[in-house]
Structure 1
Amino acid sequence: MSANTPYPVPDFRNLFDTTLSPLLVLAPDFTIVEVNRAYLNATRTERSIVGRPIFEVFPDNPDDPSADGVANLRRSLRSVLETRRTDTMALQRYDIPTGEAGGFAERYWSPVNTPVTDADGTVTHIIHRVEDVTEFVRLRRAGQERKRAEEAARTRAEDMEIDLFVRAREIREVNEQLSRANAELDAAGRTLREEQQAKDRFIATLSHELRNPLAAATAATELLALDLPEGHPALSVLERQLGTLVRMSNDLLDGTRAVTGRLELVRGRTDLRPVVAGACADIRGLFDHDGRTLDVDLPAEPVLVDGDRLRLAQVLTNLLSNALKYTLAGGSTRVSLSVAEGRANLTVVDDGIGFAPGQAEELFGVFMRAAPAGPSTPEGLGLGLSVARTIVELHGGRISAHSVGPGTGATFTAVLPLATATATVPEPRRAPRSRTVPKQLAVLIVEDNTDLATTYRTLLERQGHHVTVVHTGEDAITATRAHLFDVVLCDLGLPDIDGYAVARAVRSRPHGGKVRLIAISGFSRGSDQGESRSAGFDAHLAKPLPLVDLLELLGGTLPER
């Protein structure tokens, strides 16, 4: 790595989870919002404690009348909220539940509570760091043992003291580094616009980095499907799990945009019926697994709304994914679309595990789940319903959940305003002069991900196309200068120049208008698509791109430029 090459952005979530010190993140109301593995190991708990109040998870030992762990910790946390300063607690006895007939295990801790504040100085979270010093306390109690045991105990106690001191110094150094990094960020730009732009760039980069390996894995799975026409059990597993990863990645990115208020809509007069039908068709294969059923009830007349077709389909996909998680094998889900009192009602009803009625509103919170993950409830980020609510509210609608109780199933209803009768309906564009795509095309693939490029090449060559692959923007410009390609499939995030520069270079040539330019990228925000159109791309498709969509694009009619 050269001196001018920036270091890769570290995976902060992984850093947090692998930190040796036990760490717990609390909301201002003392609800647990995150925890690392060291804390779970130290307290003998599981991730199901996330989302619960800390004093509900760790109550005082009822058999110890002198227990004061809850009172001391509550006092320290309140001090952090009031003063916005770190509070280092004295050594505490705070027994932890063993989970065995209400038993408790004696434990001693050295806690430190640190505030996390926003730009206004408001405490948004509290980092609760502890060190289990139970063994240290027990060794100190063993002072009456014979000399050799006493010396051994003293040595171990000293080692533990040294370890605690070293860890404290390391944490202090990390905090100082973070403080310096924050100061550098503040010096680089303090305005809200600059901070928002930094967030947008992070989201776009994260999108690109996540979608590249997903695209390669998806394409490789489709290649296996071609090689195994009779099918294979592993293929269906790969397809389902990759689909889940794609939806989780989209939820993560859209959840971040929703929290920062940057979720984008591209509005237009939209009939909800094909939106619902398409979303159900895309996910039906997952419902067929384990004997689940998916029924759809659509009205005969159009249901017109002023909305973003793709985002509205995402709402239904997220609701159906939620139903899929919490519906047992053999269960059923029903989707219905109706019109009443000037509004469109989209309802998803399942006969799954349900939830307590008082929990309905909480389900739409960020990282919230109806139940802990298990054999019948696959893993998820708890973002799908939050993103769905944001999209519906951006359309001027509302979304709600209802269940009689656990085991009774659930109903989710999205209500959207119908398009007004006087709303402007865009006039249809004139059909462009077109030429039918020949069965064999000369295709240039510009992709720096070698695995993805190789797989795309194999898939397209199987369809009879002539394919050339390059991995940099400069090589793409050279290749298009030497050969006339029918189609150029170009990534946007290339290692030298970006895909926009490649498109502009191709379009600037005398015959550049005859080339079909298609952007295939992990950068898929509305602003990215607008920039690709300005650069000369005919289409902008997000990774991972299913083979059937790519072949449909290549096998249709191409407009003359």
Structure 2
Amino acid sequence: MTLEAQTGSTERPPGPSALDRVHQILLDTARQLGSSLDPDAIFVRMLESVRGAMRCDGLIVSSFDREQSLIRCVYACVGGNVIDPATLPPLPFRSDSGGMQSQVIRTGKPTLFCDVQERVRDPKGRYYEVDPTGGVRDLRDAGPPLARSAIMAPLRLEGEVVGVVQVSADTQDAYSRLDLELLEGISLLLAVALENARLFRRVQGELDERRRAEQELRETEEALREADRRKDEFLATLGHELRNPLNPIRSAVELLRRRGEPDRDARWAQDVIQRQIVHLTRLIDDLLDVSRITQGKLELRRSDVTLDEVLEAAVESARPMAEAAGQTLMVQVAGSLMRLHADPIRLAQVFANLLDNASKYSPSGTRIEITIERQEDHVAVQIRDEGRGIRPEHLARVFDLFYQAGRSEGRVHDGLGLGLTLVKRLVEMHGGTVQVTSDGLDRGSRFVVRLPLAESRSHGPASPHGPSGARGPWRFLVADDNRDSVESLAMLLQFEGHEVKMAYDGGEALEIAASGWAQVLLLDIGMPRMNGYQLAERVRSEPWGRDLVLIAATGWGQEEDRRRSLESGFDAHLVKPVDPEGLMQLVSGLASRLAATSNGRNH
């Protein structure tokens, strides 16, 4: 250790016993300071070590801010009283000053000062004194200080002076070189202890910040899940509320169609209403399907199906819109060898959306062509139109959710910008790809869907859904709290030759069902008194209800709704607006049970 004394006296080197005492004090101090990570506790233990080793009428620990050239008090104990360090104003560090702390910082050496009273008269220095009560006085214009001698040692970290430790006494020549050496050792230990405490506080702060961030993340995730749940509920409710009024409209239009050949204007009006019902139904379906896919809730129901069957369903769905627009659909036949292991309904939805998109952006008198090409173990289906085309800068975004290229050019077409997003997601779920190309505006567009082919296998003729000609007549119970929906569907069924009874709540429906009259129960889900699920469970629990055909006809169309319907005992789950022809085909498939019901019960 390097020592510097501001005195003219000479001292004999300390003996072995004195050095042993110094070493023991330093060992004890190291244990004491190292056992705490609290700065206040560290200062208290340091004060105890200093008091046990030398006279200590005052102890001040200061930090040195090199950037601001300021010396600030961080701990002070005078006359046995701990003083608030904020009562001592910061001192400027001057390299040319004779100030005691500035000298220790400048030289980096521990120093013994025996001339404190002379030092405080230095005009370049600035000195304050704290009395035992915490009072502060500026020594520049005051009398001599109480302190007569002092020792100071630098606080070092990684070789750099970061502060000063000063111990003072109210008597002259109170300290020796051994005291100075001891204080330097204590200062080294103090610097390490304070740095450990600082690092601990920083780590603790980082951990606290991480915990806060993790808690905020958990709260945000929970809020997002809640928002997502509410969005699902809103979309499901929206779909239900929009589908409900479509059901009586569709039934009424179908009834008008079947009641005789209308004049040309009436036929045109019926066609318009029918097309718009289909269009609105698709918008609702697309909105809910995109929501399901983005959440990973949509599941494919795969089966072996030919590509022709899929395309036939898609063309049948899209043809009315194309014909109304004066466009021609041209479809290449794939043949029985083009087989897919896919969800036929979802793939038909893919191609119907692409055909609708082609029709929407094509003028009257143009052609929309579907061509098919086998590519090893894949098949490529191209849908080409002669429409408005797509600018090159829009090609990369046509599959983005809610994106419509026409909006940037002041053209807005029907739709929500969901159809092509749904196409891409559904194709990818089938292990395929979809690409779009266009030669520019007014040059048409080409969408190519590539799908994996199923392995070749022998296929016998398809078995029909039910016995040939199994069309009834049957006895229907139609139950719904929407009177228009009940009465319009009842009239349509009666026109087809079936017998119908109507109910407007679950309780009334149960009474009619329990009478043994009905063969087919066509039930809404959200009815008063007893909902459709409860009614189905009650019917299935009765001996007379086990062979009845139960069909849910509802605006609720989520996968969870379908699953719950089947668990409650329904044979099928139809989503409004109900397709009358599809309903008849479904009931025909269950004709054997209806025959058993009719033969086994006396009505």
- Higher mean alpha-carbon deviation, 311-320 vs 473-482, is at 473-482
Q: 2:269 is matched by which residue type in structure 1?
A: A
Q: Secondary structure at the match of 2:403?
A: coil
- Distance, in Å, in 1 between the alignment partners of 2:559 and 2:244 is 19
Cα deviations by residue, 1:327-355 (Å, 9 ceiling, x for unpaired): 10111101123321211212110000101
Distance 1:349 1:428, change over 3 A: closer
The answer as to whether partners of 1:291 and 1:329 remain within 8 angstroms in 2 is yes
2:313 to 268, 275, 278: 278
- Distance, in Å, in 1 between the alignment partners of 2:340 and 2:230 is 34
Deviation at 1:467, TM superposition (A): 0.9
- Distance, in Å, in 2 between the alignment partners of 1:339 and 1:436 is 38
- Distance, in Å, in 2 between the alignment partners of 1:330 and 1:429 is 38
Give the structure 2 partner of residue 407 of structure 1. Answer: 442
The answer as to whether partners of 2:337 and 2:456 remain within 8 angstroms in 1 is no
Aligned pair 1:320/2:355, yes or no? yes
Aligned pair 1:250/2:282, yes or no? no
Aligned pair 1:225/2:260, yes or no? no
Q: Secondary structure at the match of 2:296?
A: coil
TM (normalized to structure 2)? Answer: 0.57
1:333 to 363, 368, 380: 368
- Distance, in Å, in 2 between the alignment partners of 1:428 and 1:293 is 32
Q: Secondary structure at the match of 2:543?
A: coil
Aligned pair 1:301/2:333, yes or no? no
Give the structure 2 partner of residue 524 of structure 1. Answer: 557
Aligned pair 1:486/2:523, yes or no? no
The answer as to whether partners of 1:298 and 1:338 remain within 8 angstroms in 2 is no
The answer as to whether partners of 2:325 and 2:359 remain within 8 angstroms in 1 is no
Deviation at 1:497, TM superposition (A): 2.9
The answer as to whether partners of 1:434 and 1:557 remain within 8 angstroms in 2 is no
Deviation at 1:191, TM superposition (A): 7.8
The answer as to whether partners of 2:466 and 2:590 remain within 8 angstroms in 1 is no
2:274 to 232, 235, 239: 239
- Distance, in Å, in 2 between the alignment partners of 1:387 and 1:419 is 23
Give the structure 1 partner of residue 570 of structure 2. Answer: 537
Give the structure 2 partner of residue 384 of structure 1. Answer: 419
Q: Secondary structure at the match of 2:347?
A: helix
Q: 1:317 is matched by which residue type in structure 2?
A: A
Deviation at 1:292, TM superposition (A): 0.8
- Distance, in Å, in 1 between the alignment partners of 2:388 and 2:422 is 22
Distance 1:391 1:189, change over 3 A: closer
Aligned pair 1:268/2:319, yes or no? no
2:478 to 445, 448, 451: 445
Distance 1:474 1:281, change over 3 A: same
1:214 to 221, 246, 249: 246
Distance 1:259 1:407, change over 3 A: same
The answer as to whether partners of 1:392 and 1:416 remain within 8 angstroms in 2 is yes
Deviation at 1:439, TM superposition (A): 3.5
Cα deviations by residue, 1:504-537 (Å, 9 ceiling, x for unpaired): 1111111212311111122223332222222221
The answer as to whether partners of 2:466 and 2:589 remain within 8 angstroms in 1 is no
Deviation at 1:480, TM superposition (A): 0.7
Give the structure 1 partner of residue 235 of structure 2. Answer: 203
Q: 1:294 is matched by which residue type in structure 2?
A: L
Q: Secondary structure at the match of 1:204?
A: helix
- Distance, in Å, in 2 between the alignment partners of 1:349 and 1:457 is 43
- Distance, in Å, in 1 between the alignment partners of 2:516 and 2:537 is 17
The answer as to whether partners of 1:325 and 1:376 remain within 8 angstroms in 2 is no
TM (normalized to structure 1)? Answer: 0.61
- Distance, in Å, in 2 between the alignment partners of 1:467 and 1:433 is 22
Give the structure 2 partner of residue 458 of structure 1. Answer: 491
Deviation at 1:475, TM superposition (A): 1.6
- Distance, in Å, in 1 between the alignment partners of 2:220 and 2:527 is 26
Structure number, greater radius of gyration: 2
Q: 1:356 is matched by which residue type in structure 2?
A: R
Q: Secondary structure at the match of 1:348?
A: strand
**CA RMSD, 1 decimal:** 3.2
Aligned residue runs from structure 1 range 36-55, under 5 A: none
The answer as to whether partners of 1:392 and 1:399 remain within 8 angstroms in 2 is yes
Aligned pair 1:291/2:323, yes or no? no
Q: Secondary structure at the match of 1:514?
A: coil
1:362 to 375, 387, 397: 397
Cα deviations by residue, 1:158-186 (Å, 9 ceiling, x for unpaired): xxxxxxxxxxxxxxxxxxxxxxxxxxxx9
| Structure 1 runs not aligned, ≥5 long | 1-185
The answer as to whether partners of 1:349 and 1:409 remain within 8 angstroms in 2 is yes
- Distance, in Å, in 2 between the alignment partners of 1:415 and 1:433 is 34
Give the structure 1 partner of residue 533 of structure 2. Answer: 500
Give the structure 2 partner of residue 558 of structure 1. Answer: 591
The answer as to whether partners of 1:400 and 1:414 remain within 8 angstroms in 2 is yes
Q: Secondary structure at the match of 1:237?
A: helix
Distance 1:394 1:426, change over 3 A: farther
Distance 1:260 1:426, change over 3 A: farther
Aligned residue runs from structure 1 range 93-242, under 5 A: 190=222, 196-227=228-259, 229-231=261-263, 232=266, 233-242=268-277
- Distance, in Å, in 1 between the alignment partners of 2:483 and 2:325 is 36
Give the structure 1 partner of residue 35 of structure 2. Answer: none
- Distance, in Å, in 2 between the alignment partners of 1:530 and 1:504 is 14
Distance 1:556 1:496, change over 3 A: same
Q: 1:319 is matched by which residue type in structure 2?
A: L
- Distance, in Å, in 1 between the alignment partners of 2:479 and 2:575 is 15
- Distance, in Å, in 2 between the alignment partners of 1:235 and 1:373 is 35
Cα deviations by residue, 1:67-111 (Å, 9 ceiling, x for unpaired): xxxxxxxxxxxxxxxxxxxxxxxxxxxxxxxxxxxxxxxxxxxxx
Distance 1:344 1:429, change over 3 A: closer
- Higher mean alpha-carbon deviation, 381-390 vs 426-435, is at 426-435
- Higher mean alpha-carbon deviation, 390-399 vs 248-257, is at 248-257
Deviation at 1:428, TM superposition (A): 11
- Distance, in Å, in 1 between the alignment partners of 2:527 and 2:242 is 15
The answer as to whether partners of 1:294 and 1:332 remain within 8 angstroms in 2 is yes
- Distance, in Å, in 1 between the alignment partners of 2:548 and 2:467 is 13
Deviation at 1:462, TM superposition (A): 1.2
- Distance, in Å, in 1 between the alignment partners of 2:343 and 2:536 is 27
